[in-house]
Structure 1
Amino acid sequence: MNKITFKEVGKFEETRFEKIHNEVFEDAAHASKLVAHEIADLIKQKQGMGEQCVLGLATGSSPIKVYEELVNMHKEGLLSFRNVVTFNLDEYYPMQPENRQSYYHFMHQHLFDHVDINPENINIPDGEVPVEELHQYCIDYEMKIKHCGGLDLQLLGIGRTGHIGFNEPGSHYNSGTRIITLDHITRVDAASDFNGIENVPKKAITMGISTIMKAKRIIMLAWGHKKSDIIKETIEGEITSEVPATYLQRHKNTVVILDNEAASELTRIKTPWLVGQCVWTEELKRKAITWLSQEVNKPLLKLTDKDYNDHGMSGLLALEGSAYDLNIKMFNVLQHTITGWPGGKPNADDSKRPERANPAQKRVIIFSPHPDDDVISMGGTFSRLVDQGHEVHVAYQTSGNIAVTDEEALKFAEVAKEMISGNEEAFHQVVTSIRNKRLKDTDSPQVRKIKGLIRRMESYGATRYIGLKDCNVRFLDLPFYETGKIKKKPVGKKDVQVVIDLIREIQPHQIYAAGDLADPHGTHKLCLDVVMEAIVQLKKESFMDDCWVWLYRGAWHEWDISEIDMAVPLSPDEVNRKTNAILFHQSQKDKVMFQGEDSREFWVRAQERNRATARLYDAMGLADYEAIEAFKRYYF
């Protein structure tokens, strides 16, 4: 494989909007393998010429799968790193290399400890350089890159500020390696790795824009919805120091590798009718007409032929005949997504409803990645299913222990220590462990157990409030999660088997799972992968013929209205009931450890998101509800 591979298997088409070559892939893992193979081909080519291969390397979540594939190739005897020299982009300052948050630790954990690279060929900015020596150190780092002949290939990620390396907004095109003050947004995004923003260093050493731009080849990676806005600015916007990644528009050998979520705001993907002729599938019609309604701020039934023609949709109009026909059809499609009976309405015509009428009482499994996602994301629907007599089971996939603060755990441990006699020593050890914990330390098993129990008891409080029996609440504690660290183990057969066993036991008519891939620590994605793999392995069993899968989204992002297959309206009382259920999760209130870029508390996010969905339906001319929870059906 080589650089041509991307052109062959990707989906890139030149448009007048895009200024950097980019490729979009369904799966980030597959794209990462292609990148790894390009890097491997370059290493081998240099080996054949008897030359060193000089790589600029990035850290963060984006390149992890690339490094995994490079390690796999090495272990299989297909790749040697003996001729490789590496220069990392950046490092926090100050930072000790043995600290698990350091990029030194990251690179050794994910790549260097597993391949045959000469340790003398590894170059990572030193986070312990004395302040008075920093200026000369940065000059020397630049000179060492030049002495090696420059970077043959630079691997990049991108931050939400548009930074590449740690070149934050305002970085000059001619900037070299230097010390820099980190943007607040960058520190917020790193907060989960440091157990709070207060522990994130405020400075870093970074290669400069000029250094990066001198690389012979640049590959930038971006995965996930939260990168979509900055990717659009980078690829389609004007070159500006406020978005340093836009400087890549001046580089003649750059490719940006994206998954569908990261590419979702690009014009050719979000609104392809503005780019050129379209094949008007039913899905694309729905996307285009709901977009048009929002763009011109008109209800669906008031859209005119002129609205369609003025917004690049004349081809659709010619295909369908008139705006009137299109409007009525789309109005009916959205109308039929709305139901107050998420489990199906008994003894009713279900031909225009999102769920089946029969069986009247369904067996339901709600998979919740963390012990509060069920009520945050679908608390109203959850309550409605219970009230309408369905057999509802909730399965909490992980303990959620890392999201409990040390202060919260200490409070509970001290209460337990005071109340329970005869076992004071065990609680004394827990209290001592928390009080003496350093930033780089991992919680002990006893501390993780207490934190997990806090989440568990909060979950019982919420489900009891909704009316669910304790026996219908399952805590799966999937093994991949139980590391005590932000970084999880890879999903394995044991994780999948736990979910298979539960589905086989319940034989559900409905499965609800978290389809939100934007959560800042990636657990939702891994939990969804487990459920999907379980479904793949079970789908040939007869009971699965009657099982429908509904995906909800979590606290970070909602389905686009064109994607919604079931919309469950909530009354004001139901919104309050949902909020009260969320508030049982007191350890997640006031101090949210992993809130991502959104500083609002979860109950506030849920209320505002559900009300925004209701307003959107209302603006399109449908019924005006207090709030709406949205679901997308997954077909297997």
Structure 2
Amino acid sequence: MPSSYPLSEVEKSFQKEAGQGHNSTLIPYLTVDNFPKLGLMTACRFLEWAAANPEGVISLPTGKTPEFFIKWTQFLLENWDTEKGKEIRSKYGLTSVKKPKLEGLHFVQIDEFYPISSRQKNSFFHYVNKFYIDGFGLDPKKALLINSDEIPLAEGRNFHQVFPDLKVDLSLRFREPATKLEKIQQESIYLIDKWCGEYEQKIRDKGGIGFFLGGIGPDGHIAFNTRGSHLFSTTRLTETNFETQAVAAGDLGGIEVSANRLVITIGLDTIVYNPEAVGIIIAAGEAKAQIVKDSLETPMTNLYPATVLQKLKNGRFYMTKGAASKLTDSLDNYYKQGDWTQEKTEKSIIDLCKKLGKYGHRLTLEDLKADKYTSMIPNVSEETVKEVMDSILAKINRGTTKEKNEVLLHTGPHHDDISLGILPHITTQLQENTNEAHFSVLTSGFTAVTNTFVINTLTQTKQLLDEGRIQMVKYEDFYTSGFKIKTDKDVYQYLTNVASEDPEESLRGLCHRVVRALVEIYKVENTAGLRETINEVISILRNSYDGEKNPAKIQKLKGMIREFEEELVWAHFGVQVKNVHHLRLGFYTGDIFTEQPEKKRDVEPIVEMFRKIQPTKISLTLDPEGSGPDTHYKVLQATAEAVRVWSEEKDLKDLKIIGYRNVWFKFEPAECNVIVPVSLGDMAVMEDSFANCYLSQVNASFPSYAHNGKFSTIAKRTWVSQLNDIQLLLGKNYFYLHETAKVRSSHGLIFFKEMNVKEFLEHARELEKSIEGML
């Protein structure tokens, strides 16, 4: 790190542990191994600063990103003088720091949706009060907060009266109002602008922000300063872009809401107004790697808002190694540090093909020696490229080898993860009759189902009941035991009518399953009670705000809808309902921060499933840093512990673990050891099954920031992109002239990593160690 950017004692400790050298970036940075460790580093630096600035001005982030920052801060404050607390403080530069008292700090809220009631639990106002004001013991009288309910509007009205559809048309700033309501809205917008200016002035009157901590969005946004925001921007009411709306969809109950909601945000100049400020951006995971590179290696520009931190001598990025993986520094360190490996050779050769736009067989020895990284390959020669090509061919051969006599257990954290990750590989396995396949989604997945979807489904169910078209309720024993049987019939009813192109009859299959779920959840005893229950659920949902945490029974109903969707997907290939296992692990609660997995509640059900199925291969989503949706690494922890427990009961030397990536992350060709060809037919099956079965997701209420549409489209694009990389190495001829149809039909590739139990447990152990002792 440049000498002009001196490190604090905490930063020196983490830099020493990471073994980092000089940063060549325009903003200094520090890296750690995983997401939980990122929270520890940030918490230590915050407490170090707070101890030195007991009456300083702080601005801290909202959302899921600061989960471990919040938990580690609270842990250290509560355990400052315990043995564990002293151990952590000694290791990370806090030995000589006196325990800080946070009640003297002045808090500044970074941003807020507008309009949104401060009473809503998905408002940032509520978040700040819960996790920072109350959670850190801050003084509410010293806090500058953004409360939509208290921002003055025209004629003393509230925002529901001024903006009855909760939409704010900012064009009224510049045009004549067309109606009386628009005139009131225009006057209100000017009043909000005035309030924002006053908020900005209050921050500056305090001397500006002294400690700023924020995340970075997929487009590079800091706070809600999206790509293109002026570097001298201040607090304002503004619109957002699609990437930001997609990220906010989870908070607001769907893209339908977030796309129409404005935001109030402090500006980029607000963040750097105090030249002595500590400004930290935290970033986790490979999905952030490109925007991190652009933000750290590009001179100051409005295209990358985080570049504004170049103005601060104490501006920093704290990141996981995955988020830093595309930095020039990281690539240099990757190749220069440690022993040279086959993985390094493969990565450097494949990347050189892409850099030069040359096929592998056309790379010359001069090309290899001229490149920064391939020139480092030991004994580099004309044979080096061929050796890499042979290695990749071996991976493809493993991906095309027919598996027999396997008991396969495919698992996923969420519904659709398995399908989006490795469906073409699974369909090949299912074509072999000696294989037995099971599927298990480990969480209920209810947060992905919108209130609107459930209301519409229940309304349709009620109509079918009134028309006498749900005949099973007429059977004498239906409400006592009949609702539990013939669940395969609902699946068959649905898919048969998909084939017949009769959407109305297909929907009847879903409504059948919803009736069964309602009877089970609400202990319904008769058809009259069923109607009452439907009306009650509809009423609760209509009176709930979007994004609100549902009552437990409605969560379960939403989860059972998702479970039915998963059964539909695998029924495409003849898999019976009994082979689709719904674990509903208890840590998944719908709260902003879910609990850590517990052995009895979350691990034992997985172990019991292993005992029952006796799999020879287990697939799972592999999140190397714990940086994806929090469900991913918590499921990974629970699964790893279950494998460990099972290994104490049974010799698992022959058990294979398949680690795959979902739409959030992807393997580099050099990282994986199995490559599976994907045909256009495979892609069509995946997209078709997604559209026909994942009914609650087909409208993409919670889309990826990378695509305004279905996740299946992203998966397909990933597979195609991976083929392009390998085609550049092997040449197109290898594929379309191959002796087997499976390879000739390749229009995409899937990468995954096969491990034995020892390798998998070692991998998972690194993540587990990072949060030991905290919880």
TM-score (norm 2): 0.73
Q: Do the aligned partners of 1:299 and 1:619 also contact (CA within 8 Å) in 2?
A: yes
Q: Are residues 339 and 574 of structure 1, via their aligned partners in 2, closer, same or farther at CA, if it must alter by over 3 Å?
A: farther
Farther off after superposition, 277-286 or 83-92: 277-286
- Structure 1 distance, partners of 2:191, 2:678, is 62
Aligned to 1:19: 26
Aligned to 1:102: 123
Q: CA deviation at 1:599?
A: 1.9
Aligned to 1:8: 16
Greater gyration radius:
2
Aligned to 1:308: 368
User: Which secondary structure does the structure 2 equivalent of 1:258 belong to?
Assistant: strand
Q: Which has the higher contact order (CA 8 A, sep 6+)?
A: 2
Aligned to 1:369: 413
User: Which secondary structure does the structure 2 equivalent of 1:291 belong to?
Assistant: helix
Aligned to 1:69: 72
- Structure 1 distance, partners of 2:338, 2:399, is 36
Farther off after superposition, 468-477 or 499-508: 499-508
Aligned pairs for 1:549-588 (under 5 A) are 549-588=657-696
Q: CA deviation at 1:15?
A: 4.9
TM-score (norm 1): 0.88
Q: Partner letter of residue 301 of structure 1?
A: H
Say which of 224, 232, 243 aligns to 1:166: 224
- Structure 2 distance, partners of 1:414, 1:126, is 36
Q: Are residues 257 and 545 of structure 1, via their aligned partners in 2, closer, same or farther at CA, if it must alter by over 3 Å?
A: same
Aligned pairs for 1:43-442 (under 5 A) are 43-46=50-53, 51-76=54-79, 80-128=101-149, 129-130=151-152, 131=188, 132-200=190-258, 202-213=261-272, 214=274, 215-270=276-331, 279-313=339-373, 315-317=375-377, 319-322=378-381, 324-339=382-397, 345=402, 360-388=404-432, 389-417=434-462, 418=465, 419=470, 420=473, 421-422=527-528, 423-439=530-546, 441-442=548-549
- Structure 1 distance, partners of 2:635, 2:713, is 24
Aligned to 2:751: 630
- Structure 2 distance, partners of 1:463, 1:469, is 8
Question: What is the CA deviation profile of residues 196-231 of structure 1, one whole-angstrom value per residue up to 9, with x for unaligned ones?
Answer: 223226433322323311152122111123322211
Question: What is the CA deviation profile of residues 146-202 of structure 1, one whole-angstrom value per residue up to 9, with x for unaligned ones?
Answer: 444443322122222322222233433333333333233322221121122232264
Q: Do the aligned partners of 1:11 and 1:24 also contact (CA within 8 Å) in 2?
A: no
Aligned to 1:356: none
- Structure 1 distance, partners of 2:228, 2:683, is 43
Q: Do the aligned partners of 1:339 and 1:569 also contact (CA within 8 Å) in 2?
A: no
Say which of 492, 508, 511 aligns to 2:615: 508
Q: Partner letter of residue 93 of structure 1?
A: Y
Farther off after superposition, 223-232 or 19-28: 223-232
How much identity, in percent, do the aligned residues show?
24
- Structure 2 distance, partners of 1:56, 1:411, is 41
Aligned residues: 613
Q: Are residues 136 and 397 of structure 1, via their aligned partners in 2, closer, same or farther at CA, if it must alter by over 3 Å?
A: same
Q: Are residues 142 and 401 of structure 1, via their aligned partners in 2, closer, same or farther at CA, if it must alter by over 3 Å?
A: closer
Question: What is the CA deviation profile of residues 301-323 of structure 1, one whole-angstrom value per residue up to 9, with x for unaligned ones?
Answer: 32111211232136435x2241x
Q: Do the aligned partners of 2:255 and 2:702 also contact (CA within 8 Å) in 1?
A: no
Aligned to 1:354: none
Q: Do the aligned partners of 1:401 and 1:452 also contact (CA within 8 Å) in 2?
A: yes
User: Which secondary structure does the structure 2 equivalent of 1:337 belong to?
Assistant: helix
Question: What is the CA deviation profile of residues 240-287 of structure 1, one whole-angstrom value per residue up to 9, with x for unaligned ones?
Answer: 1222211112211122100122112212324658x9788522221111
Q: Are residues 391 and 441 of structure 1, via their aligned partners in 2, closer, same or farther at CA, if it must alter by over 3 Å?
A: same
Q: Do the aligned partners of 1:99 and 1:440 also contact (CA within 8 Å) in 2?
A: no
Q: CA deviation at 1:374?
A: 1.9
Q: Partner letter of residue 249 of structure 2?
A: A
Unaligned 5+ segments in structure 2 are: 1-8, 81-98, 153-187, 474-526, 737-745, 761-775
> When you count helix as a share of all residues, which structure comes out higher?
2
Aligned pairs for 1:437-586 (under 5 A) are 437-439=544-546, 441-483=548-590, 488-493=594-599, 494-515=601-622, 521-586=629-694
Q: Are residues 264 and 195 of structure 1, via their aligned partners in 2, closer, same or farther at CA, if it must alter by over 3 Å?
A: same
Unaligned 5+ segments in structure 1 are: 347-359
- Structure 1 distance, partners of 2:724, 2:269, is 47
Question: What is the CA deviation profile of residues 22-41 of structure 1, one whole-angstrom value per residue up to 9, with x for unaligned ones?
Answer: 11111121121122122212
Question: What is the CA deviation profile of residues 499-518 of structure 1, one whole-angstrom value per residue up to 9, with x for unaligned ones?
Answer: 23322443422111012689
- Structure 1 distance, partners of 2:709, 2:698, is 9
Q: Are residues 79 and 472 of structure 1, via their aligned partners in 2, closer, same or farther at CA, if it must alter by over 3 Å?
A: farther
User: Which secondary structure does the structure 1 equivalent of 2:324 belong to?
Assistant: coil
Q: Partner letter of residue 528 of structure 1?
A: L
User: Which secondary structure does the structure 1 equivalent of 2:213 belong to?
Assistant: strand
Q: CA deviation at 1:115?
A: 3.3
Task: Let me know the Cα RMSD of the aligned residues.
Answer: 2.8
User: Which secondary structure does the structure 1 equivalent of 2:317 belong to?
Assistant: strand
Q: Do the aligned partners of 2:602 and 2:638 also contact (CA within 8 Å) in 1?
A: yes
User: Which secondary structure does the structure 2 equivalent of 1:338 belong to?
Assistant: helix
Question: What is the CA deviation profile of residues 6-50 of structure 1, one whole-angstrom value per residue up to 9, with x for unaligned ones?
Answer: 32223433254x11111111112112112212221232334xxxx
- Structure 2 distance, partners of 1:173, 1:607, is 37
Q: Do the aligned partners of 2:277 and 2:312 also contact (CA within 8 Å) in 1?
A: no
Farther off after superposition, 495-504 or 388-397: 495-504
User: Which secondary structure does the structure 1 equivalent of 2:657 belong to?
Assistant: strand
Q: Do the aligned partners of 1:91 and 1:205 also contact (CA within 8 Å) in 2?
A: yes
Farther off after superposition, 470-479 or 111-120: 111-120
Q: Partner letter of residue 601 of structure 1?
A: K
